[in-house]
């Protein structure tokens, strides 16, 4: 039986992270300030191309916290999982941040404002590794058991100036625009 992704944005990242592919995480939330969330925009039932169903609910509108849950199915059991996702804004861009279980760093992605679709873009590891090598971004470059860099990056965070460089394309290819993930709203929005 097919196993669904554990939660909201991880459906984009989990296959890459589980197989040792490269990733970018941050020690701090990415985005200048919490996005005030409107339950009419965010609350609802969403699905991806694999027919995984996600339930989104605004948990704290002022702090930009979404509660995201789904049912995880295996041959042996069915479990409900939920996570908090922190939506932050910088200029016209929205960023979603979340932590894996027992993780201290945040996975972050760029997201579109929700409508009938919610589009998600991942950071491009090569661009972040390059900035760390150049000394233009503070962070760490994890190494494998042989001491070779894995291609992943753990950044200390992004300040407002760095985010503006990404938004203005002065830091080219920092966000991978070539393979966006798309969630589609299904059904009616829940009543408030």
pLDDT in tens, 95-124: 999 987 778 899 999 999 998 999 999 999
Query: Please, which pLDDT band fits residue 191 given cuts at 50, 70 and 90?
Result: low
Residue 100 counted as domain residue: yes
191 versus 74: which is more confidently predicted?
74
Residue 73 counted as domain residue: yes
d(CA 101, CA 17): 13
Residue 4 counted as domain residue: no
Instruction: Give the range of the structural domain holding residue 87, as residue numbers without chain letter.
Output: 10-186
Residue 31 counted as domain residue: yes
Residue 172 counted as domain residue: yes
Q: Pick from 105, 89, 123: which is nearest to 13 by CA? A: 123
Question: What's the number of domains the chain is made of?
Answer: 1
Residue 56 counted as domain residue: yes
Residue 175 counted as domain residue: yes
């Amino acid at each position: 039986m097919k196993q669904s992704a554990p939660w909201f944005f991880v459906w984009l990242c989990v296959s890459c992270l589980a197989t040792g592919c490269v990733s970018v995480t941050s020690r701090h939330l990415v985005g200048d300030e919490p996005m005030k969330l409107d339950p009419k925009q965010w609350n609802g039932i969403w699905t991806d191309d694999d027919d995984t169903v996600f339930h989104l609910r605004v948990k704290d509108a002022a702090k930009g916290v979404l509660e995201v849950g789904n049912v995880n199915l295996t041959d042996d059991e069915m479990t409900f999982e939920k996570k908090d996702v922190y939506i932050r804004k910088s200029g016209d861009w929205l960023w979603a941040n979340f932590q894996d279980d027992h993780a201290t760093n945040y996975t972050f992605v760029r997201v579109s404002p929700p409508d009938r679709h919610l589009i998600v873009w991942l950071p491009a590891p090569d661009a972040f590794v390059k900035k760390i090598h150049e000394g233009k971004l503070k962070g760490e470059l994890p190494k494998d058991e042989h001491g070779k860099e894995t291609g992943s990056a753990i950044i200390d965070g992004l300040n407002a100036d760095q985010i503006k460089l990404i938004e203005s394309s002065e830091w080219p290819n920092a966000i991978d625009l070539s393979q966006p993930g798309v969630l589609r709203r299904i059904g009616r929005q829940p009543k408030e």
